[in-house]
Structure formats: structure tokens, C-alpha cells
Structure 1
Amino acid sequence: MSGPYTSFVAIGDSFTEGLNDPGADGRFRGWADRVAERLAALTPGFRYANLAVRGRLLDQIVERQVPLAIDLKPDLVSLCAGGNDLLRPGADPDRMAKTLAGAVRELRAAGAEVLLFTGVDPRDTPLMRRARGRTAVFYLHIRSIADVYGCHLVDQWSMQSLRDWRAWSEDRLHMNAEGHRMVAAKVCEVLGVPTEDRWRYTWPPRAHVDRRVRLREDRLWVREHLLPWVGRRLRGTSSGDGVEPKRPGLTAFEAGPPADAPRP
């Protein structure tokens, strides 16, 4: 089909839910909502659902969200999953890829176009850089899956503009509004959807930050973000416990406010 798209279902975890890109209605906005805004502006009657929930693992997304997406019969489904799995010791990227491939096969058989994502290179991310090897293997699998099943692919690994911390929120795991804006621009480019936003640009130089200031920031991050994350892992709980999808049904979506001003 390759557009114009009349319906879009987004499934996944916190990245697709939109953390930490606050919207005007008090819920998170995120790249998926931003893309839906562009599609709604171009296509009368456009419908959108977002089933993503923060903290979800790949198996949970495949078991709970993929069947719902198939039942909704959309033109386009985005599927980004596995990031939470890769944070855990012992994650098997080969097994994960097999699970993902099965989900993609089902979505394609149902007639939907599928949008897949690689992640950002984690070498600058404190929690994930030790897992860079298995992360790279999983993302190579995703590229292969996209080729085999004829999916659209958003390669965030090659998006050097996302390697600047100004695209990320204080927890160093979730993008801020600027990061989500860049991803939305990249998605639009991959889908052939016109947008004035750009994802490829060079950040202006940053002011020098004293080493002592950086150490204080690191200690604050450990206390406010890392230790709570470790605590949830030890307790077997998730940040998504009790959280419901923000747009569980495929409903009419009106274009929101004008897109953020394009970056130079």
C-alpha cells in the first residue's frame, strides 16, 4: 500500500507510549502521536490507536498487543519491542528475534504494513552499554526481518543526532520532546509522509561543564533513576503495572496543534 494511510496502530513499550514527551492533555505525546498528527492532517477520517505500555517485555507485547492490533485491521502497524529485555542479564537476541519475526509474519498476513525500529547505539547509555554486543545482534536481526517480510525500517542506530544527551530526558533512558520530534521526522521520511521537520542536523556546541558538576549529576541520576529501577527488578515489578494503553481503540484522530518549529 505505502500510504496514504487511513488507520495506524502503534504497539510497544515506553518508547511508543511517548515517555517523556508531555502532551497538552496531560498524557505523554511521543513520536507515534506526532506521526498520527501528520497523517490525520493529510487524510480525512484518519483513525489511530496506541496500545503501548511502559515496561512491557517483548513476549508481553507479542502476546497481548499484537492480537489486538490484528483485530483492529489497520493499514499500518508500528512495532518496537525488546529494549526492556536487553536491559536484563541473559537476554538472548536470537530467541528474541525469532519471537519478533513470528509477530511480524502474523501482522503481514493480516494485511497490515509494518514499521520496525532498530534502537539507538547504546555506547553512551550507562545501563545498556555493557550489553552493546547482544543489542547489536538483535538490531541486525531486525534489519533482516524487515527485508524478509517487506517492512519499513527506522534505523535509529544511524541517527547521530540522537546521540546527544539534549535529545534525552533526565533518566537517560527515555527521549525528551526533542528526541521524539526527531524520531517522528525520521518515521515520516521512511513512510514517505511530507513533513517540515528534519531529523538530520548538527547540535550547537555545548558549554563546558565542570567535572565536579558532572559527578554531582551522575550521583543524582543514580539516586533518582538507577536505584529505583534496580529496586523494581528485585521486586519483580514494572513501571507499567496498573497502566492502561492511552488509546486502546482505533478511533478518529484530529490533527493537533502545529508541529514544533523545525530545527536548523
Structure 2
Amino acid sequence: MALLAGAPWRRYAVIGDSLSAGIGDPTPGYRNQGWPDRVAGVLRSVRRDLDYLNAAEIGATTARTIENQAARMAEFSPDLLHVPCGANDIVRRRPDFGGTERTLRQMYDLAKDTGALLTTFTLGRAYVVPAFPDWPERIAAVNEIVRGLAAEYGAIVVDMWDHPVNDRANLLSEDRLHFSTSGQAVMAAEMVKKLADSLGRATSA
């Protein structure tokens, strides 16, 4: 909480897919709560008047995020906004990475128009879809797209690709895709640290 004391954000929004929604199986010893709600809780602890919207939709591609969530996002007028990393765009027989980049750029344009500080994350190496033998290469490609766009648009990136949490035995839910609440807690902590960094505060403690 101290890291975000006096944080300026009053309207926090999250758009995207199930990873943005923060779904996952419970882990013993961890509060059964996804990372976005955890971040909202920390923000609300330092700013009680925080308004929070999570419009994320399970299974949403970037295109569906734009189609179904952009209007709500704009109407909400966030000053802190999380955007997805295109995970569902690459779950297809032949992913179109050029198309994914164009659609993500369209989403970033709409998101930037809100004036909000943008956040996103990359996919971790523990995120596995066995049906695609080239899955690690797909993740690497979409992560590079996300890193490039984030740099261009000034977005905060929580880079989960090689984070130590990938090695946790209890990281993934039964579906082997989504973080359990153990991983959700780590994701939230990393997001809070990045937000603190944006305020110019040390996070080494």
C-alpha cells in the first residue's frame, strides 16, 4: 500500500480476455481473487473514491475486445487502463501476426485516446497450449509485438515471460492455461511495483 500512497488514479479500467479478467483456480493459503481486483483493492486502499471497471470477456480476441468493450471503456473515461496482450489471437491454426499487430495497434490508439496511463503484460513461458507444437514461438512473437507497441505508446509492461513464478508447481489452474490465485497474487504485486516505479518510488524493499 505504501508504494502507491498518494497515487493520482481515480478511474481504473481493465479490458480484454480471461487473462485480463483474472480468472483461475483457488490456491490454498491465497485469497480467491484475480490480479485486477487485487490491484483495484490496493489502489482503493490509498484512494477510497476509486472507481473500477473490469469489462474483460472470457475468450475475447483483440478484435472482439474492440467491438464489445471499447465503447464502455471510452464512456468510463479511465485515467489508468489495462489492455490485453493478444493471447486469444494466436490460438488458431495459422496465426496472422501481422493482423494481430494491426488490431492491437488499433486498440492502443483507442486506449490512448482516453488519456489514461496504459498497462499490459507479456505471456509467461508456463502458459501452454499443447495442441500447437510451435506454441513457444507463438508466445515469443506476440510478446515482441506487445513490447514494441507498449514502448511506442508509453505503456507500462509487466514482463512475465521469464519471471521466476513460471517455475512454481502450483502456478497454473487445472486447465493449464490460467494462473491459479498463487500466480494472480504475483501478477498483482508486479503490477503494483510497476505502478510505483511510474511514480518514481523505489520497489526494492
What TM-score does the superposition give when structure 2 sets the normalisation length? 0.83
For residue 131 of structure 1, report the CA deviation from its aligned partner. 2.2
Shift in Å at residue 21 of structure 1?
Answer: 4.7
- Identify the range of structure 1 (171-180 vs 116-125) with the bigger mean alpha-carbon deviation: 116-125
**Structure exhibiting the larger radius of gyration computed from Cα positions:** 1
Q: CA deviation at 1:3?
A: 4.0
In the alignment, structure 1 residue 80 sits paired with structure 2 residue 81: no
The 3 A distance-change label for structure 1 pair 36 and 113 is same
For 1:81 and 1:42, how far apart are their aligned partners in 2? 28
Matches within 5 A, 1:1-264: 3-21=7-25, 29-122=33-126, 126-127=130-131, 130-192=134-196
Superposition deviation, residue 81 in structure 1: 4.0
Structure 2: give runs of 5+ residues left out of the alignment: 1-5, 27-31, 198-205
Letter in 2 for 1:172: R
| Inter-partner Cα distance in structure 2 for 1:152 and 1:123 | 21
Specify the SS of the correspondent of 2:118: strand
- The one-letter amino acid of 1:69's match is M
- Partner Cα distance (2:131, 2:38) in 1: 28
Identity %: 29
C-alpha distance after superposition, 1:16-36 (max 9, x if no partner): 2221155xxxxx731000000
Displacement after TM superposition at 1:189 (Å): 0.8
Structure 2 vs 1, CA of residues 127 and 120 (structure 1 numbering), >3 Å: closer, same or farther? Answer: farther
The count of corresponding residues between Structure 1 and Structure 2 is 188
What is the one-letter code of the residue matched to 1:136? A
Secondary structure in 1 matching 2:12: strand
**Counterparts of 1:159 and 1:106 in 2: how far apart (Å)?**
29
Is the Cα–Cα contact under 8 Å of residues 92 and 134 in structure 1 kept in the other structure? Answer: no
Q: Secondary structure at the match of 2:19?
A: helix
Q: CA deviation at 1:130?
A: 2.4
Counterpart Cα distance in 2 of 1:40 and 1:52: 20
Give the alignment's Cα RMSD to 1 decimal. Answer: 2.2
Question: C-alpha distance in 2, partners of 1:99/1:81?
Answer: 11
Deviation at 1:153, TM superposition (A): 0.8
For 2:168 and 2:129, how far apart are their aligned partners in 1? 11
Unaligned runs of 5+ in 1: 23-27, 194-264
Extract structure 1 runs of 4+ deviating beyond 6 A. Answer: none
Cα 1:154–1:36 shift into 2, 3 Å: same
**Contact 2:101/2:145, CA 8 A, preserved across alignment:** yes
Q: Distance in 2 between matches of 1:65 and 1:21?
A: 25
The answer (yes or no) to whether the contact 1:120–1:163 under 8 Å persists in 2 is no
- For residue 141 of structure 1, what is the amino acid of its counterpart? I
